[in-house]
Amino acid sequence: MSLYNVLVSMPITPEYQRRLRAAVPRAQVSFQRFEELGDTQLAAFDAVVGNPDKETITKLTNIKFLQLISSGVAAEYVTLGRERPDLMLCSASGAYGQAISEHMVAALLMLMKRLHEYRDAMKQAAWESRGSVETPLGKTVLVVGAGSIGTAFAKLMQKLGSKTIGLRRQTGGEMDGFDELHTIDQLDALMPQADVVALSLPETPATKGIMSAARFSLMKEGSYFLNVGRGSAVDQDALVRALESGHLAGASIDVTVPEPLPKDHPLWQQKNLLLTPHISGYYHLQATHDAVVDIAARNLAAWPEGPFISRVDYKTGYRERPTDEGV
């Protein structure tokens, strides 16, 4: 059984087109945006590379294979397991580790060294010290979500002299990047030990609201908070209170609810917060774009026998792994 009609809906270059066509030489490969296509055209595709919205998914009536270009798997894709159990779903998990982990380290160092305060002071031409700073050396970093992104971040923090503790859904798997690994049910016990709490979680029923007001209160006084997973993991009002009270020394969030965040939301006004518009991943780093195309090409070429990279387990919403390690 072969794939005959493949739609690729993502930013593309001539070289990427060549690589994807070479992966399925017997197939017709179209490079178009979903909104450019009519219902009849959408129904003709048996494989898609891209992230169709809910309405488009209903029109892709004949697809056998869906390759997402995101690392996280939104709920509308996980539910396809019930609606279309024969549809194979793969994510781009593993493509974003370098870009997002570097963003996390840069944001944390900015906060620790108070560089954002100096950048703001430039507007007043203020030549003055902003006071003492922090160092990652000797700090304890709790990584909530020890998948590819969390692991890449942990490795970088280890190089800066931090102790790294990872939290996963289940035990087992590689320790690389972590001094300790625990299961997610240990979150409350470990948070008071951490100087930095970093979230890199997908959106699942178990992760929604995981950072509540109670959990922010468990964090060490003067600690730092990072979130690059999904905005739904965080009680944003509680985050505002933790920053305004000084309980947190600083925070960096790349995701919010909703997106875009309304202009009148108090998060915009927090002086010790770096708020970025969900840009830590995407294709801003060339290596990320290359990796997403590589994953898609290898999965297309592997159809139907496999093995497939980052095939999604519909039961969990995470990628399948032999030992089911990571988040």
- Chain length of the chain: 327
Strand partners, 74: none
Tokens representing residue 314 in the block: 């519909």
The C-alpha angle 4, 90, 204, rounded to 5 degrees, equals: 145
Q: Say what the pLDDT of residue 320 is.
A: 82
Name the catalytic one among 21, 182, 278, 298: 278
Name the catalytic one among 168, 230, 311, 319: 230
Overall average pLDDT of the 297-324 stretch: 86
Range of lowest pLDDT (52-56, 69-73, 187-191, 252-256): 69-73
> How many other CB atoms sit within 10 Å of the CB of residue 268?
11
Q: Say what the pLDDT of residue 321 is.
A: 64
Average pLDDT, the chain: 95
Q: How confident is the model at residue 316 (pLDDT cuts 50, 70, 90)?
A: confident
Active-site residue, 230 included? yes
Overall average pLDDT of the 282-299 stretch: 97
Active-site residue, 298 included? no
Q: Say what the pLDDT of residue 326 is.
A: 39
Tokens representing residue 152 in the block: 């890449």
Look at the pTM and tell me if it is higher than 0.85.
yes
- 325 pLDDT higher than 50: no
**How many angstroms separate the first and last alpha carbons of the chain?**
33
78, 317 Cβ separation under 8 angstroms: yes
Please give the Cα distance from 36 to 18 (Å, whole number).
Answer: 22
Is the model more confident about 319 or about 182?
182
Overall average pLDDT of the 268-277 stretch: 98
Residue type, 264: D
Q: What is the pLDDT of residues 196-205, one digit of tens each?
A: 999 999 888 8
Overall average pLDDT of the 120-137 stretch: 97
DSSP reduced 3-state for 270: coil
**Residue indicated by tokens 């990320």:** 288
Q: What is the pLDDT of residues 36-48, one digit of tens each?
A: 999 999 999 999 9
Q: Would residue 155 be called left, alpha or beta, if left means φ above 0 and alpha means ψ between -120 and 50 degrees?
A: alpha
Residue 45 is classified by DSSP as -
Please give the Cα distance from 31 to 45 (Å, whole number).
Answer: 12
Q: What φ, ψ does residue 147 adopt, rounded to 5°? A: -85, -155
Q: Say what the pLDDT of residue 323 is.
A: 39
Q: What is the pLDDT of residues 3-43, one digit of tens each?
A: 999 999 999 999 999 999 999 999 999 999 999 999 999 99
Share of residues in the chain with pLDDT > 90 (%):
90
- 327 pLDDT higher than 50: no
Active-site residue, 265 included? no
Q: What is the pLDDT of residues 170-198, one digit of tens each?
A: 877 778 999 999 999 999 999 999 999 99
Query: Nearest-CA neighbor of 224 among 274, 269, 151?
Result: 274
Please give the Cα distance from 195 to 266 (Å, whole number).
Answer: 24
Q: What is the pLDDT of residues 197-255, one digit of tens each?
A: 999 998 888 999 999 999 999 999 999 999 999 999 999 999 999 999 999 999 999 99
Tokens representing residue 114 in the block: 């108070």
